[in-house]
Amino acid sequence: MECIFCKSINKEIPSKIVYEDDVVIGILDIYPATLGHILLIPKEHKPNFSELDEKIVNHLGIIASRLSLLLVTNLKAQGISLVIKEGVLGGQRSSHTLMHIIPRFENDSLNFDLLGGEEQKGKQTKTNKLYEDKEIIVVEYPTLTEGHIAILPKEEFSIIMKVPEIIIGKMFLLAQKFVKKIVSGEENNNNNNRKRGANIVLNTGIDQPQQTVSLHVIPREEGDDFDFVWDVRQVDDKSLDEIVDKFKGNVKKGVEEQIEERRDNKKEEQEEEGNKDSEKNYYNSYLDRLP
């Protein structure tokens, strides 16, 4: 059966496109976890994230960050969850690898807890280092499964949109290297008969496990007792088209340029309408706190 996502990429079936370049395409999920849920899809057909070329992985991370900013600014999302599912045991259902970019809202009923319990919240573990360079550190983070790791920038960033793109790209490249080890059996304590999948998850805002942004790689195997799943919802075409219109012409700008433009627009709106509280509550007024 021909891949439905390849058909979307080739414009053989209609899709709600919010972003496209030579490497990836971003389309709105028509059965989203929340309104604005984006599927970011590499144009090259690869079944698994672990099989992607490194340049594509780097690009995927950067574009995910830019789209995250637009979901916050355009839809007033209070957080973002990025989710990649690797293999059947990782919950993957499609034959074409992709990233879910899910805008988060208070009381959205989603649960992407990476801590393994409420008592762990706020803790930031930096023991058992697995990798370190001048920009990034990788640590064991065994809250969900054996082999669960967290990839963190050495400098603290409260939200993904503040992380320099070169670091975001590097974080996803490191995640891919660990996923390859997981699915190949290198991380299975020499038991290569254990079949494994993986999840790659980054939460910013809601369900963020630490004060700083962290990208988590979580080994999955048969019989584990959790999954990153969600109830889908029906959304009408008009609502999807309105989101597409909000994204037009915005994504190719760099993150810093988008932030500055949003600041300027916000000032103009406040001066014209005299409404200085209109955006007070979305994402903790994060634009006001940016340096």
pTM: 0.82
Mean pLDDT of 16-25: 94
Pair 3, 96: CB distance under 8 Å: yes
> What local confidence, expressed as pLDDT, does residue 212 receive?
87
Mean pLDDT of 247-264: 62
**Is 95 inside a domain boundary?**
yes
Picking from 44, 47, 38, 48, the residue whose alpha carbon sits closest to that of residue 15 is 38
Asked whether residue 274 carries a pLDDT value surpassing 70, the answer given is no
Mean pLDDT of 252-261: 58
Full domain range(s) for residue 76: 15-107+120-221
**Is 284 inside a domain boundary?**
no
pLDDT tens digits for range 120-172 = 444 444 468 999 999 999 999 877 788 899 999 999 998 888 899 999 999 99
**Is 72 inside a domain boundary?**
yes
**Is 194 inside a domain boundary?**
yes
- From residue 148, alpha-carbon distances to 44, 144, 229, 235 in Å are 28, 7, 18, 35
Asked whether residue 176 carries a pLDDT value surpassing 70, the answer given is yes
Mean pLDDT of 181-201: 74
Q: DSSP assignment of 206-260, as one string?
A: TT--SSS--EEEEEEETT-S-----------HHHHHHHHHHHTTTTTS-HHHHHH
Distance CA 254, CA 36 (A): 21
Asked whether residue 119 carries a pLDDT value surpassing 80, the answer given is no
Asked whether residue 271 carries a pLDDT value surpassing 70, the answer given is no
CATH of the domain at 80: 3.30.428.10
Distance CA 25, CA 283 (A): 26
Q: pLDDT band for position 38 (50/70/90)?
A: very high
Higher pLDDT, 246 or 25: 25
Which of the given ranges, 94-98, 145-149, 223-227, 278-282, has the highest pLDDT on average? 94-98
**Is 227 inside a domain boundary?**
no
**Is 268 inside a domain boundary?**
no
Q: How much of the chain, in percent, has pLDDT values that exceed 70? A: 77
Of 45-49, 82-86, 184-188, 219-223, give the lowest mean pLDDT range. Answer: 184-188
If you average pLDDT over every residue of the chain, what do you get?
82
Asked whether residue 276 carries a pLDDT value surpassing 90, the answer given is no
**Is 78 inside a domain boundary?**
yes
**Is 288 inside a domain boundary?**
no
Pair 233, 31: CB distance under 8 Å: yes
Distance CA 113, CA 157 (A): 19
Classify burial at 2, counting beta carbons within 10 Å of its beta carbon; exposed 0-12, middle 13-18, buried 19 or more. exposed
Higher pLDDT, 83 or 271: 83
Number of domains forming the structure of the chain: 1
Name beta bridge partners: 39.
Answer: 27, 100
- Could you tell me which residues come within 8 angstroms of residue 102 by beta carbon, excluding any fewer than 6 positions away? 32, 33, 34, 37, 38, 80, 81, 82, 83, 110, 230
> What local confidence, expressed as pLDDT, does residue 238 receive?
94
Asked whether residue 284 carries a pLDDT value surpassing 90, the answer given is no
